[in-house]
């Protein structure tokens, strides 16, 4: 068999050929030129990104007859021998099949012998994470202090499985997924050299399907070349990869957004009957919607799109579809993607997901905004009117309260210090009572548990100082909190900023907390009720009195005492 796969024929032979890893190749080249390269390296990253190729190029470069050089000449006997594997001083080991302690001990025993043909003996251990724990322990000492003529290069796709004691003895280089544009440019050069005609759309689709791996890209391209006749087109790549064309994804998305469930389900059935992989279809649709959302949010992000090319249909769809609809569709498709992993009937779950997305805004408009019912509008108008009347009543009550004697007002107005040094702000509390509402208080009481829980995780000391408390009065911007003991009020003031910050996160708005001791709050409450009320015997005839009604709304009938 004379034919060789493209990824083998076009395997990188120089650092320049290692696409998309400039941050690594430049570092290695500089180290080689300065003759400051390390005794051990760890190359980690996704499959097909050039780890073992870079290791072999490194071995050729440090052993090249023209060293120190930035690139191997690939002409001298050392370079050619390492390239074809005839030089035994560069040893490539597959750790997946050499995992035992004995295999590592063999390396350890032979490492002390000098290289026979080239200056440096290089051990390239691929998939090193497959080595057993005991084997790693056997390698530790050798890896830390190898002979001067030995270099270890460990390659892995799963660095988290390697013991930290090994990682700390190596210089680590992380290979990253290769950008689609770099993959496309590399493939364009290869097909031109091979004299093969491939359309640009086909190359772009191959790069997308490769997901950052050059070896995967060349394997897919090889399959597409074999599948096609003379000219590789987009349809050939789609047939080989099982992917779905952008035109179908655009039509499917438009059908769901326009609530054409029949068309969406018909297209899905055609795809499945045509042999497309259901999981791959959902995967492609999620990334297509992701690209649609990014383009709609910021058209300048064209360079980061992963599954879409910006054609006229794509632009029109982006103008039409709302961001809220796209986000909801992605969430539902992601749920579908998880569900079809564990079922023998993936088509059913995809159909349910498509129907759910199509009908998701039955009770709302196409932009994801709720349709306001006429009754709700009427109720909102009525509430607004009542709030205005209530404000007028409060203003009247405030005017009448100014007739209180000067001495009594001074006595009540001055902040009184407790024995623990905390001054109760009576004026502020009375002002809050004037504008407080039961609705605000109930809302805060419902959120109090969540607030305490979040405060505990944020600042345990602050939580300890407010945990024995409860909200008793609430307005739109202020909360009166009752503490059991006076000392807790003073301690609260030391942590006020932290506590109010967490409360704002939970409540969704800034609130000022006024602490008050339990015994003082009872006096203030009775004083306020006395001020607002009249005699119990006149309660029935005073039901229409707006002041009495306001006090009743605030504290309830059980705490209300009306005196003349």
pLDDT at 373: 43
Specify whether 228 is located in the same domain as 327: no
- In this predicted structure, the answer to whether residue 30 has a pLDDT above a threshold of 90 is yes
Confidence of residue 382 (pLDDT cuts 50, 70, 90): low
Specify whether 13 is located in the same domain as 94: yes
Average pLDDT over residues 448-462: 82
Specify whether 449 is located in the same domain as 427: yes
Q: What is the DSSP string of 408-453?
A: HHHHHHSPEE-TTSPEE-HHHHHHHHHH--HHHHHHHHHHHHHHHH
What stretch of H or E contains 108? helix 101-110
pLDDT-wise least confident of 8-12, 25-29, 144-148: 144-148
Specify whether 258 is located in the same domain as 387: no
CA atoms within 13 A on the CB side of 390: 15
Q: pLDDT digit string (tens) for 122-144? A: 999 999 998 888 888 888 888 88
- In this predicted structure, the answer to whether residue 34 has a pLDDT above a threshold of 70 is yes
Is residue 540 domain-resident? no
Specify whether 21 is located in the same domain as 169: yes
pLDDT at 371: 41
Confidence of residue 16 (pLDDT cuts 50, 70, 90): very high
Are the beta carbons of 18 and 57 closer than 8 angstroms?
yes
In this structure, the chain runs to a length of 564
Q: What CATH number does the domain containing 293 carry?
A: 1.20.272.10
pLDDT at 43: 95
Specify whether 159 is located in the same domain as 19: yes
Query: Which residue, 241, 256, 271, sits at the end of a domain?
Result: 241
Q: Which domain holds residue 68?
A: 6-174
Is residue 553 domain-resident? no
Is residue 88 domain-resident? yes
Q: pLDDT digit string (tens) for 169-228? A: 999 999 999 988 899 999 999 999 989 899 988 898 898 888 889 999 999 999 999 888
- The 3-class secondary structure across 183-211, one letter per residue, is HHHHHHHHHHHHCCEECHHHHHHHHHHHC
Is residue 17 domain-resident? yes
Q: pLDDT digit string (tens) for 279-337? A: 888 988 998 999 899 888 887 766 677 777 788 888 889 888 988 899 999 999 999 99
Q: What is the DSSP string of 213-247?
A: -HHHHHHHHHHHHHHSSSEE-HHHHHHHH----HH
Q: What CATH number does the domain containing 454 carry?
A: 3.30.300.180
Count structural domains, the chain: 5
Q: Which long-range contacts (CB under 8 A, 24 or more apart) does 99-107 make?
A: 99/130, 99/131, 99/132, 99/135, 100/132, 100/135, 101/132, 101/134, 101/135, 101/138, 103/135, 104/131, 104/135, 104/136, 104/138, 104/139, 105/138, 107/139, 107/142
Report pTM: 0.59
pLDDT at 533: 66
Average pLDDT over all residues of the chain = 82
What stretch of H or E contains 499? helix 496-507
Angle at 416 between CA 412 and CA 420, to 5 degrees: 160
Specify whether 354 is located in the same domain as 397: no
pLDDT at 180: 86
Specify whether 426 is located in the same domain as 394: no
pLDDT at 427: 83
Question: 461: exposed, middle or buried (C-beta count within 10 Å: 0-12, 13-18, 19+)?
Answer: exposed
Q: pLDDT digit string (tens) for 387-417? A: 777 777 776 666 555 554 444 444 444 444 4
pLDDT at 559: 55
Specify whether 45 is located in the same domain as 151: yes
DSSP secondary structure code for residue 43 in this structure: E
245 vs 163 pLDDT, higher one? 163
Is residue 89 domain-resident? yes
Specify whether 399 is located in the same domain as 410: no
Q: pLDDT digit string (tens) for 487-533? A: 778 888 878 888 888 888 888 888 889 988 888 888 888 888 877 76
Specify whether 510 is located in the same domain as 421: yes
Are the beta carbons of 237 and 224 closer than 8 angstroms?
yes
Q: Rounded to the nearest 5°, which phi and psi values hold at 232?
A: -85, 120
Q: What CATH number does the domain containing 20 carry?
A: 3.40.50.300
432 vs 151 pLDDT, higher one? 151
Please state whether the peptide bond connecting residue 406 to the residue before it is cis, i.e. omega within 30 degrees of 0.
no
- DSSP H helix total and E strand total for the chain: 26, 12
- In this predicted structure, the answer to whether residue 52 has a pLDDT above a threshold of 70 is yes
CA proximity to 213, closest of 160, 175, 260? 175
Is residue 367 domain-resident? no
Specify whether 301 is located in the same domain as 339: yes
């Amino acid at each position: 068999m004379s034919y060789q796969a493209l990824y083998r024929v076009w395997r990188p032979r120089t650092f320049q050929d290692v696409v998309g890893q400039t941050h690594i190749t430049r570092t290695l080249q500089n180290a080689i030129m300065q003759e400051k390269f390390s005794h051990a390296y760890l190359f980690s990253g996704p499959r097909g990104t050039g780890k073992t190729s870079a290791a072999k190029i490194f071995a050729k470069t440090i052993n090249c007859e023209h060293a120190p050089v930035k690139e191997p000449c690939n002409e001298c006997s050392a370079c050619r021998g390492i390239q074809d594997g005839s030089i035994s001083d560069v040893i490539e080991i597959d750790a997946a099949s050499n995992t035992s302690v004995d295999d590592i001990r063999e390396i350890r025993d032979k490492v002390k012998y000098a290289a026979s043909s080239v200056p440096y003996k290089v051990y390239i251990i691929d998939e090193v994470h497959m080595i057993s724990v005991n084997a790693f322990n056997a390698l530790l000492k050798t890896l830390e202090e190898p002979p001067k003529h030995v270099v270890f290069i460990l390659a892995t796709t799963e660095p988290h499985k390697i013991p930290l004691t090994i990682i700390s003895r190596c210089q680590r280089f992380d290979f990253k997924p290769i950008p689609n544009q770099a993959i496309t440019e590399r493939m364009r050069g290869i097909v031109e050299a091979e004299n093969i005609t491939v359309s640009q759309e086909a190359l772009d689709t191959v790069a997308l399907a490769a997901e950052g791996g050059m070896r995967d890209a060349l394997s897919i391209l090889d399959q597409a070349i074999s599948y096609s006749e003379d000219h590789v087109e987009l349809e050939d790549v789609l047939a080989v990869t099982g992917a779905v064309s952008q035109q179908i994804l655009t039509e499917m998305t438009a059908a769901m957004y326009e609530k054409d469930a029949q068309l969406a389900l018909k297209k899905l059935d055609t795809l499945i009957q045509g042999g497309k992989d259901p999981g791959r279809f959902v995967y492609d649709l999620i990334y297509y919607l992701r690209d649609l959302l990014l383009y709609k949010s910021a058209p300048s992000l064209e360079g980061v799109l992963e599954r879409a090319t910006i054609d006229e249909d794509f632009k029109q769809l982006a103008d039409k579809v709302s961001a809220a609809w796209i986000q909801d569709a992605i969430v539902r498709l992601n749920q579908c993607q998880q569900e079809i992993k564990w079922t023998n009937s993936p088509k059913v779950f995809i159909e349910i997901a498509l129907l759910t997305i199509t009908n998701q805004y039955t009770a709302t408009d196409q932009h994801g905004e709720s349709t306001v019912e006429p009754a709700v509008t009427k109720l909102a108008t009525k509430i607004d009117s009542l709030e205005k009347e209530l404000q007028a009543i409060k203003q009247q009550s405030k005017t009448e309260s100014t007739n209180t004697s000067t001495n009594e007002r001074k006595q009540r107005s001055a902040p009184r210090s407790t024995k623990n040094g905390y001054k109760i702000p009576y004026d502020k509390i009375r002002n809050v009572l004037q504008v407080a509402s039961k609705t605000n208080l109930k809302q805060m009481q419902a959120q109090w548990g969540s607030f305490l829980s979040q405060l505990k995780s944020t600042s345990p000391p602050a939580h300890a100082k407010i945990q024995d408390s409860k909200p008793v009065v609430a307005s739109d911007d202020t909360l009166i909190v009752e503490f059991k003991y006076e000392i807790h009020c003073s301690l609260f003031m030391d942590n006020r900023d932290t506590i109010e910050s967490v409360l704002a996160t939970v409540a969704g708005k800034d609130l000022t907390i006024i602490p008050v001791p339990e015994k003082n709050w009872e006096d203030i409450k009775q004083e306020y009720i006395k001020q607002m009320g009249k005699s119990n015997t006149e309660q029935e005839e005073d039901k229409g009195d707006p002041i009495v009604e306001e006090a009743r709304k605030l504290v309830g009938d059980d705490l209300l005492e009306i005196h003349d």
